[in-house]
Structure 1
């Protein structure tokens, strides 16, 4: 057993309570006290990414944490999709052949709702749609799942942070229970993460990337986590992040992405990361359980 796991077990025994009821977003998605396993864009190794089918598949596999990407349509609706353009994961070229480069921000929500977002992945998912963020949050609530929400390409969508938080609030996701252990907001944009923190300081936030160790102190003022690409993490880097306290006066955390192989999962687990974001959460769970 890793030393950090032994310490956790000792602490649990001391307080006489189970890890599953600790007020933290870092309990394992499978009930483990080892680390959080997050289904990347839903269980995207088994269903089309960022769709309701993908989060349903994650739920069926027993994973409570999922990750998604949020962007905005031409008429101001928030939708869940990764790319700035629609052509990779939908049939937009077929329905709108003369609308290149098929950017999300150039299509209305009604137009995007017509697109097939499943056939590109597998014909069995033909007819699956790009969900609005509202639809997505409703399904998460129904499934009792938790979310790492990525604000994607914020430079394309001025004010998207405030709009996203308003929708989350309306859907009941900014109450104390959700803020305590069911929601993390992240972005590759430090400015966007800082904006989210300034607007709603109680929200747990994460910066996507691996800033130099010399700059981590500055990030700790507005980010609770550093979520880094697994190839850029090391034992020393993870330890440097853990040595700092974030804006909620708790040790900063590290999540590794996108980890899809057992040996990669064991490697970052040995670094002491707090979470793993993966397309194949079952593969990661098996690997770290045996580690």
Structure 2
């Protein structure tokens, strides 16, 4: 849903103003029970950690998997679209191939987002780690999208490839994969296996359709037991690519007036749901911004099933101990109906510890207005009026510390429009201009 009917929006504002932000779970405490959340003892980020936190761009628009709505997720099409659309960060899920290549893929297997059933029958549920990059390049990672999202289907999505981390970095820098006269990716024959066979890499070229935006990259590490020592591999790779800001980072040319996150100290952000991975990341990539993702689960890796003050405080204190500069909680509401971990009292606690809040995932204007606090301000956005005043009679004090600082979105265009940023065209027009 890109735009809400004004009458419905105002009605929703009145309803939400009258009930506050009650959680979606029965065991979520309401404000009448949260009389000590503001005084509950919390650890706080060190002065040095706050310097790293402040590398991160304010009000970041983070393109979740590039997009899951307008293009096949985590493919070149999705990331080129997000870059040209104006996202501040390109988000990806890191996994590793059998031959040690870091790539972008969300699911534990390739069944949903490729044609693996026909290419490697009987191996549909195998993890990425059993395939080499060259094997994965045989897969079509785009056709499934045209079936699942027929309203946004494009013939040019057929044959899209699984992306490597290197390719995502190159897209952020203004490159694309080179293609031959038939539109097929050009194989890089200077990067071969020991037996002389192609290793699965493609050549790059300056993207003639690049519009100058230079987003950063926001990468999630998966469970350590799936990819042992992946954090160490990532640190080595980022340094080699000039993207490790603590180790001789390269200058990435930018254009005045365009997104320039890629040329800042906040160019790369680490994120994980895994506490073990966060510990490893802090060891091998200190001084790089980190986000501790939150999910409601029985696992000790995640926030406890009852999102109480005590459980949230324990989670925040762990995050502070390992220099997580960002809290990444889920938001409620359609279409995902995730657990509510971004209520105002929770955001106040994240902020009091010195963390900023990047919540996930924003797919509607209603969600953007809710978690930016608009419904406490008569429906007025701080992007429209930074001096907005609280409008309504509430049983608790409202402050700017109770809302988000940025968000993951499948609709970069929607988040940019909400923030009042200049758009270069509609989502469809940007895809058209990129040749899709």
**Structure 2 length-normalised TM:** 0.56
Count of matched residue pairs: 256
1:3-152 superposed matches below 5 A: 24-27=55-58, 35-122=59-146, 123-142=155-174, 144-152=214-222
Q: Give the Cα–Cα distance (whole angstroms) in 2 for the partners of residues 154 and 54 of structure 1.
A: 27
Corresponding position of 1:227: 328
Q: Which among 246, 264, 284 is matched to residue 199 of structure 1?
A: 284
CA contact (8 A) 1:138 1:171 kept: no
- Is 1:217 paired with 2:317? yes
Corresponding position of 2:223: 153
Cα displacement string for residues 40-71 of structure 1 (whole angstroms, at most 9, x for unaligned residues): 00133211111121111012212231210110
Larger Rg: 2
More contact order relative to length (CA 8 Å, sep ≥ 6): 2
Cα displacement string for residues 183-233 of structure 1 (whole angstroms, at most 9, x for unaligned residues): 110011011012111212111111110533221122112111110111221
Q: Give the Cα–Cα distance (whole angstroms) in 1 for the partners of residues 345 and 219 of structure 2.
A: 27
> In structure 2, the residue corresponding to 1:111 is in which secondary structure?
helix
Give the helix-richer structure, 1 or 2. 1
Q: Which among 236, 242, 247 is matched to residue 172 of structure 1?
A: 242
CA contact (8 A) 2:63 2:90 kept: yes
- How far is the alpha carbon of 1:118 from its aligned partner? 0.8
Q: Give the Cα–Cα distance (whole angstroms) in 2 for the partners of residues 218 and 134 of structure 1.
A: 31
> In structure 2, the residue corresponding to 1:158 is in which secondary structure?
coil
Q: Which among 360, 363, 367 is matched to residue 257 of structure 1?
A: 360
Q: Give the Cα–Cα distance (whole angstroms) in 2 for the partners of residues 153 and 51 of structure 1.
A: 22
Coordinate RMSD, CA, aligned: 2.0
1:270-281 superposed matches below 5 A: 270=373, 271-281=402-412
- How far is the alpha carbon of 1:179 from its aligned partner? 6.7
Q: Give the Cα–Cα distance (whole angstroms) in 1 for the partners of residues 57 and 372 of structure 2.
A: 14
Corresponding position of 1:267: 370
Q: Does 145-154 or 255-264 show the bigger shift?
A: 145-154
**Structure 1 length-normalised TM:** 0.82
Q: Give the Cα–Cα distance (whole angstroms) in 2 for the partners of residues 107 and 153 of structure 1.
A: 18
- Is 1:241 paired with 2:350? yes
- How far is the alpha carbon of 1:253 from its aligned partner? 0.9
CA contact (8 A) 2:74 2:104 kept: yes
Q: Give the Cα–Cα distance (whole angstroms) in 2 for the partners of residues 272 and 92 of structure 1.
A: 42
- How far is the alpha carbon of 1:91 from its aligned partner? 0.7
Corresponding position of 2:6: none
CA contact (8 A) 2:55 2:264 kept: no
The gaps in structure 1 that reach 5 residues or longer are 1-21, 28-34, 245-250
The gaps in structure 2 that reach 5 residues or longer are 1-52, 147-154, 175-212, 250-262, 296-302, 304-310, 333-339, 374-401, 422-436
CA shift in 2, pair 1:187/1:23, >3 Å: closer
Structure 1 segments of 4 or more deviating over 4 A? Answer: 176-179
Q: Give the Cα–Cα distance (whole angstroms) in 2 for the partners of residues 284 and 272 of structure 1.
A: 15
Q: Give the Cα–Cα distance (whole angstroms) in 2 for the partners of residues 61 and 104 of structure 1.
A: 30
- How far is the alpha carbon of 1:99 from its aligned partner? 1.9
Corresponding position of 1:15: none
- How far is the alpha carbon of 1:243 from its aligned partner? 0.5
